Structure 1
Amino acid sequence: MMIVPSLSTLASTYLFFLSLISLCLAGSPSPLPGPSLQDSVCLRIAHSISPASEVFYPGESLYEKGIFHWASSSTQQSKCVVEAGTPSDVGIILVILGQTRTPFAVKSGGHATNPGFSSTSDIHISLYRFSEVNYNSTSNTADVGTGLIWDDVYAALESFGVNVLGGRVSGIGVGGFLLGGGYSWMTNQYGLAIDNVVAFELVQPNGKTVIVTNSSDPELFFGLKGGMNNFGIVTKFTLKTHPQSLVWGGSILNLESTLSDVEAATIAFQAAVTDPKAGLIMTYNYVPSIQQILINQLMFYDGPTPPAGIFDTLLAIPATSSDVSTRSMLSLVRASPSNGTDGARAVFQGYPIASLTSSISAVIVNETRFWGTALANKSAVTVSYAMELFLPSIYSHNPDNTAFPPSRNLFFQPFDLEFDVDFHAAARASSAHIREAAIGEGQSELVDAPIYPNYAISGTPLADMYGGNVPALQALKRRIDPQNVMGLAGGWKF
């Protein structure tokens, strides 16, 4: 999948997202033998942690659960999986890893697609046991464990009539989503998900657990908001809650014969809809098996029924299937087909565009068809480009600086792609082509537009994501992690 940030001053604009999916499992790592290869570091950890945590080895079912990723190309066979159950045990583990200089990985939901970002051939730390959700009606906040997926968080908060800003599709992990920034169905109303974090429970690389707030350590609070796993392991987030009623929305599938109508309706939606409760993701999917582009619409309104006129034109286009209805947020999220490609090989890539015009839309349709055809004989199942519409005011909800985005004066959104060598090359080439076309059309603000870290392909320069924030983040990294313990883990490194 590929997501393109957008910088626009229009009433509403969007995010792009290209997805190449292959179910070819050739090249997947073969399982390691069992306990005979137990590593000395695994054994040391097992003997040092409390009964609240546990170590698993190849061949055990919870080992397989621990290393599993939505994209099989991101799953690696580690020497062991450590399911940490308390912050103090996480601290013990980090100290041992730092002392032995052992590479490791930390995984929340397992939706990262860059190999080595939340996977490793050494020590794999699973956060599944950090799975509590506690709502505080006095402060209107919720404590959310890092090991959860958003489906679980929405289910836990539903009975209280409140919600937090989280993932828009099923199966997304809390940890990586929040530490990277987080675009939500309610971003138009409340900003990015990180704009709604009021505290982090952080296990620092020295093993100590601290609660980080804007008051306790403003620099570290800034760095954790988009700074990924550079400063330790977050075990809990405290998030602002917002009232939540039933919502309206769902998925609609259209055939290629309706493509021109969908294009026109999407461009009109972007130009006219200013209601912050409305959201739309429009995806063009080339399916090699039928040699057609199918269109998937994900519609959202934060209320039981949208006002007349917002989605009318889109709804009037003949559809092959539709499950749009009034429902709970949990039902809406679970209706998304994103997990239907579990086990596929995948990688994300991101580049920005500013505004969806008819000429740029034509470029995107051509890219969808070209790469879908070109990669069909390389086991591509689908090639997808998605337009995710947001208002240009989304960064104004938080007056404070955050690691990402590096500027709140510009409006931008993310874009991404999935597979190995040929697919990686396609991701880079296609996203660059669309970006160049947009700049050539006059969208000059894209020259310095940052790429969303959660959708950037491995090898993306830090400056392309964090801009002028890089020096401050590097200085913060030296203060919090002078021994560079977190440098032993994958991901974007300051």
Structure 2
Amino acid sequence: MLSCLHPLYLPLFLSALPRLWAENSSPSQSAFFPDAVCFRISQVISAASAVYHPGEELYEKGLHHYASSSTQRSRCVVEAGTVKDVGAILVILGETRTPFAVKGGGHTTNPGFSSTPYVHISMYRFSEIKYDDVSKTAEIGAGLIWDDVYAALEPFGVNVLGSRVTGIGVAGFILGGGYSWKTNQYGLAVDNVVAYDLVQPNGNTITVTNSSDPELFFGLKGGMNNFGVVTKFTMRTHPQTQVWGGSIYNMESVLPDIEAATVAFQESVTDPKAAVIMTYNYVPSAQQIITTQMLFYDAPEPPAGIFDAFLAIPSVLFDVKTRSFLSLIHATPSNSTMGARAVYQGFPIISLTPCISAILVNESKFWGKALADKTEVSLSYDIEMFVPSIYSHNPDKTAFPPSRNLFFQPFNMAYTWNSSKFDADFHETAIISSEHIVKAAIAEGQTQLARAPNYPNYAIAGTPLQDMYGDNLPVLRRLKARIDPLDVMGLAGGWKF
């Protein structure tokens, strides 16, 4: 055991870890070295940071994910509290070639993307928010969830482009691109970031802007965690009044009216302040589809006519009103399946048509019934509606989307269940179902989908990088080689260049 080593020999042992790890590189050969790495980290970090082990309460907090299937039991949880400590941790992990994870909000459904059996870095302590009224920017810590950001900015009458539902972490959302309720007006979240505070894989800390390093600035805009650990984002803010919106739930009996209202909205509404997310939810306990419409208008009241068709349909639950932006976020149903096992599968789509809507109904019901006896909780198919100009708000190239000349919008499938015995069933079904929908859309005439990229934050594990980053991939790989030549960040989970 490490505790049995004489103190005089401990520094020599720790300094030899890189060589010992190389000689015993397979994690299955020994579970001893990660414990030694955890100890070494505990010796170099400041009092602003801490290391927690199994059995300690904050260990559990550090590991927690929205989806239980995304949580892994690490040898230790490191709550880093300063950028200097993050740098020291990365240096140790790189020297010892120790696999690790970096977790912000923990909302990814891909196992191993922000979890690990080895060293788990939790960003909770990077939770500061500062608003600058002169520059109209906000500095946002990478350990926050968007609920906290909206609450902090509300007294100033401003907002940033963040998540549309409750409980989403700041870091992963921005690093993957970030579609927001205000995207129609201002683009993606990455289009509104003016600076990144980045701890590089070599331990150094830099502030990345378009003028300081244009190539790295480009790579961080959608390039996930390939270039180091971002500890703070500086974002443009925009005026924020009260908004109008909320959720409506409808039974399957009125589905034709919901479909007609949704297709009509997609075809006719061009007001950039208006948005809708339409969800087909197969609920096995009800043995039918229950639809959810999340409506949004970026003002206290919408103009007459935009949402009238939705409002006229009989509902089983209605929560649409004038409210604060934060109230709207808190009213979303995204946490209703927290703790279940989950998988997301995304793909691009151009528009919802009557034909595609019919296919979504069939997919929901067919697979919902097929998986009902496999501890299924729900199957959801979500169409997110944006205006075609959303990629025109930023003239600069970004890692994602790889092209700003092609309009597409993200589509997300969300499956939830309870038993790990059926993980493969739900994962494979999500792939099969998504391929069927995309092929049907292309056959109907949405041929642009053959070139449209998949949104990294929705893409299922195993999605080829080319499908998300397109022609940007060679550039991103060269950038990765420059910034992280020893591939330290390759030891962490996620999409890797």
TM-score range, shorter chain: over 0.9
Distance 2:282 2:397 in 1: 39
Contact 2:64 2:71 in 1 (8 A): yes
1:430 aligns with 2:433: yes
SS in 2 for 1:440: helix
Contact 1:142 1:238 in 2 (8 A): yes
Distance 1:341 1:54 in 2: 31
Who is 2:15 aligned against?
none
Distance 2:337 2:236 in 1: 32
Who is 1:12 aligned against?
none
Distance 1:383 1:234 in 2: 33
By how many angstroms is 1:416 displaced? Answer: 3.2
Who is 1:449 aligned against?
452
SS in 1 for 2:212: coil
Contact 1:37 1:79 in 2 (8 A): no
Q: Which amino acid aligns with 1:417?
A: A
SS in 1 for 2:130: strand
Distance 1:490 1:148 in 2: 20
The one of 194, 198, 207 aligned to 2:194: 198
The one of 90, 114, 120 aligned to 1:124: 120
The one of 143, 146, 151 aligned to 2:142: 146
By how many angstroms is 1:355 displaced? Answer: 1.8
Contact 1:38 1:57 in 2 (8 A): no
Q: Which amino acid aligns with 1:476?
A: L
Who is 1:287 aligned against?
283
Who is 1:399 aligned against?
395
RMSD: 1.2
Q: Which amino acid aligns with 2:472?
A: N
The one of 391, 406, 409 aligned to 1:410: 406
Alignment of 1:334-345 (within 5 A): 334-345=330-341
Distance 2:401 2:336 in 1: 30
Distance 1:105 1:251 in 2: 35
Q: Which amino acid aligns with 1:299?
A: L
Contact 1:416 1:456 in 2 (8 A): no
1:476 aligns with 2:473: no
Deviations 1:233-260 (A, max 9, x none): 0000000000000001011111111100
By how many angstroms is 1:50 displaced? Answer: 0.4
Distance 2:331 2:466 in 1: 36
Distance 1:464 1:281 in 2: 24
Q: Greater RCO between the two (CA within 8 Å, min separation 6)?
A: 1
SS in 2 for 1:417: strand
Distance 2:388 2:492 in 1: 35
Identity fraction in percent = 71
The one of 111, 136, 153 aligned to 2:132: 136
Who is 1:485 aligned against?
488
By how many angstroms is 1:37 displaced? Answer: 10
SS in 1 for 2:101: strand
Alignment of 1:12-23 (within 5 A): none
1:314 aligns with 2:317: no
Deviations 1:404-452 (A, max 9, x none): 0000000122223336200011110111000000001111111111100
Deviations 1:327-360 (A, max 9, x none): 1111000000101111110111122222211111
Distance 2:434 2:478 in 1: 32
Gaps of 5+ in 1: 1-35
Contact 1:149 1:173 in 2 (8 A): yes
**Structure 1 stretches of 4+ moved >6 Å:** none
1:460 aligns with 2:463: yes
Contact 1:113 1:348 in 2 (8 A): yes
Distance 2:447 2:136 in 1: 41
Q: Which amino acid aligns with 2:413?
A: D
Who is 1:376 aligned against?
372
Who is 2:219 aligned against?
223
1:249 aligns with 2:245: yes
Deviations 1:149-174 (A, max 9, x none): 00000000000000000000000000
Q: Which amino acid aligns with 1:423?
A: F
| TM-score (normalised: structure 2) | 0.91
